[in-house]
Amino acid sequence: MPTSRLGGVPTILADAAPARVAQLAFGLDALDSPDALDGTDAAGRTLAQRTNRPMPDVAHVESWLSPDEQRALVEQFRMWAIPPAGLRHPRVPAGHLMSVQSVCLGWHWQPYLYSLTADDTDGSPVKAMPSAVVDLARRAIVDAGIDAARQFDPDAAIVNFYEPGARLGLHQDGEEPSDAPVVTISLGDTCTFRMAGVDRRTGPFVDIQLRSGDLLVFGGENRRIFHGVPKVAPDTAPEGLGLPAGRLSITVRETGFSRS
């Protein structure tokens, strides 16, 4: 696939948005088990009650992560964002910069190519895929009930940060040979997540609202659906999350590529 010869632009993550309550530090081990509510959220809803199926083979689980789990992921994101192979604005083949900022784990993705080094910035080896993120993604497809019985070996994560005003156009996750489900965790500000079709990027659309801690999984017949984020609602993130103003998405997938 073609890529831009100009490369991306490295960026530095801003400080966290001010919070009224001092926040604690959480390591990635906060993700080792489901939240302390035994599968229920703060409103007492069970996992089944929080799971919506807007399209075939698509599951949206509201309040999937507890506040502690969300803070743990944000804290790790701050580590992932640091160079080498750190946070940057990717550049599409036509030459313009994407408004989202992105850092990769396991495999480095630039539009529209995977590699083991950050070839569009400093050329450094991509950061390793944390085992806790792999376990979290495996938990996700079980909880979402999307291809839950399959052996799922996620080996890459694309972590996107949306500053106020950033968006992501409709696109397919089509560079991977694997047809395993795609897992997306949403943190921070609420976004409108838009889905079209596998063979079209035009309407009619199915729009859902992804809030902080929500999970989205798509696979099966809609594994390669066109999707995007046309809007992020400002000032909708929970207090004390540790993010700058904006939205963070962690999209985990099994590429099907060999590292040898």
Q: How confident is the model at residue 2 (pLDDT cuts 50, 70, 90)?
A: low
Instruction: Tell me the whole-structure pTM to 2 decimals.
Output: 0.91
**CATH fold of the domain at 26-32+46-253:** Jelly Rolls (2.60.120)
Question: Which pLDDT score is estimated for 68?
Answer: 96
Interval 179-230: pLDDT, tens: 999 999 999 999 999 999 999 999 999 999 999 999 999 999 999 999 999 9
- CA–CA distance, 89 with 251 (Å, rounded to integer): 17
Torsion, CA 119, CA 108, CA 55, CA 181, rounded to 10? 140
| Helix%, strand%, coil% for the chain, nearest 5 | 15, 30, 60
Give, in order, the Cα–Cα distances in Å from 252 to each of 45, 84, 120, 206: 26, 21, 21, 22
What is the percent of the chain with per-residue pLDDT over 70, rounded to a whole number? 90
Question: Which pLDDT score is estimated for 25?
Answer: 40
Interval 90-108: pLDDT, tens: 999 999 999 999 999 999 9
**Mean pLDDT for all residues in the chain:** 92
- Does the structure show a pLDDT above 60 at 21? no
- Range name among 32-36, 118-122, 150-154 with the lowest pLDDT average: 32-36
Q: How far apart are the first and last CA of the chain?
A: 20
Average pLDDT over residues 161-183: 96
Could you tell me if 62 and 41 are in contact, meaning their C-beta atoms sit under 8 angstroms apart?
A: yes
- Does the structure show a pLDDT above 50 at 135? yes
- CA–CA distance, 122 with 197 (Å, rounded to integer): 36
What is the percent of the chain with per-residue pLDDT over 90, rounded to a whole number? 84
Q: How confident is the model at residue 24 (pLDDT cuts 50, 70, 90)?
A: very low
Question: Which pLDDT score is estimated for 27?
Answer: 52
Question: Which pLDDT score is estimated for 38?
Answer: 62
Give, in order, the Cα–Cα distances in Å from 16 to each of 12, 71, 186, 232: 12, 12, 17, 18
Could you tell me if 191 and 225 are in contact, meaning their C-beta atoms sit under 8 angstroms apart?
A: no
Which comes out higher in pLDDT, residue 40 or 246? 246
Q: How confident is the model at residue 77 (pLDDT cuts 50, 70, 90)?
A: very high
CA 31 from chain center: how many Å?
16
